[in-house]
Amino acid sequence: MKRPTISPPLAAVLLAMALFLLSGFLPNGFGGNLDVATAQAINIVRLSVFLGIIAAGQTLVVISGGEGIDLSTGAVVTLTAILTYTIVSGKNEQVLPALLAVLVVGGLIGLLNGAGVAFLTISPLVMTLGMAGVVSGLILVITQGNVSGAVAPIMTQLIARPVLWGIPGAILIWAVFAAFMWLLLERTTFGKNLFAIGTNRTTARLSGINVTGMIIATYALSGMLAGLGGFLVVGNTGVVHIRIGEPFLFPSIAAVAVGGTLLTGGKGSYFGTMAGALVLTLITSLLTTMQMQESVRRMVLGATLLAMIAIYGRQRGFRQ
């Protein structure tokens, strides 16, 4: 007999919906007003986009196994947000060069992470942690305390404003991005090899997979995606500060975990991470609407993550 099981991504989506409905009953919630509810739903999804895209690289790194994790994500987001802000300086024609620059910078940082992990066999936790410190230091060196620049009008228009049928550009970008991620993970040799190295690196190598190259590519990609995240974040907020990326680090890992990606590697999906990003964004906004203090918000976030991993993140016992 098969026990009825529910896939983690689906569970996360259901949780997100339940939370959203719950938020409707709050004193300043949407109540029975469908228009307001739709608007709020769209807003929540829009807010989730940034976490969702930043967590994409994290998803890849976690799937790649070997205790894969990227703790430099937050710092890279900050650095690339500042770079975007400085390079664009309010000019539309500077947007593409800025995007290119942040992808290259993010990719280079990720490349260093990957090289440390693959060649020097430094554990990913420690390597990316050290890199986070280096990048934070770099930010101080570059900014020396003040950042000047501006985002371009076209960025605000494409990212923060409605583009099509009242749907904000960010959501459309996310949809395209999600399709790209699905294709990458499920329909390319890279994706299949990624799951393989995440499951068993010796088997992968003896099956002709260049494990070292895969690890480096994965971390580089994670850095690039964090760079893209920084670009989008600053496009949304329009202003930048020296800690803009930091709040994304913990949720980016939490979103991956809540989305049911196996933290030991080898199994997972980007849809799960998207659902995880939705759940985390919802909880944050719910607590903000309820005017909870920062301290309570943190405790609730931590407890939620615990609850989610306790449901389907349990490891096998010794005794069967």
Give, as ranges, the residues between 99 and 138 that touch other proteins (CB under 8 A).
116, 119-123, 125-127, 129-131, 133-134, 136-138
- Residue closer to other proteins (CB basis): 14 or 186: 186
Contact call for residue 87 and other proteins (CB under 8 A): no
User: What are the backbone dihedrals phi and psi of residue 238, each rounded to the nearest 5 degrees, phi first?
Assistant: 80, -15
Q: Which residues contact 219 (CB under 8 A, 6 or more apart)?
A: 61, 70, 110, 111, 113, 114, 117
Q: Which of 157, 237, 264, 289 binds other proteins (CB under 8 A)?
A: 264
CA-based nearest residue to 138, from 58, 46, 48, 75: 75
CA-based nearest residue to 126, from 185, 67, 46, 64: 67
CA distance 20 to 301: 16
The least distance separating other proteins from the CB of residue 270, rounded to whole angstroms, comes to 15
CA distance 183 to 188: 7
Q: Which amino acid, 186?
A: E
Contact call for residue 69 and other proteins (CB under 8 A): yes
Q: Which residues contact 299 (CB under 8 A, 6 or more apart)?
A: none
The least distance separating other proteins from the CB of residue 59, rounded to whole angstroms, comes to 14
Contact call for residue 89 and other proteins (CB under 8 A): no
- Residue closer to other proteins (CB basis): 7 or 43: 7
Size of the site for other proteins (CB under 8 A): 77
Contact call for residue 289 and other proteins (CB under 8 A): no
The least distance separating other proteins from the CB of residue 214, rounded to whole angstroms, comes to 12
Q: Residue 274 belongs to what H/E stretch? A: helix 270-289
Q: Contact, 259 vs 269, CB < 8 A?
A: yes
Contact call for residue 146 and other proteins (CB under 8 A): no
Stretch that binds other proteins, among 10-18, 152-160, 170-178, 301-309 (CB under 8 A): 301-309
Q: Is 89 helix (H, G, I), strand (E, B) or coil?
A: coil
Contact call for residue 22 and other proteins (CB under 8 A): no
Contact call for residue 4 and other proteins (CB under 8 A): no
Stretch that binds other proteins, among 30-38, 50-58, 77-85, 198-206 (CB under 8 A): 198-206
Residues for the chain: how many in total?
Answer: 320
Site for other proteins in 217-246 (CB under 8 A): none
- Residue closer to other proteins (CB basis): 218 or 236: 218
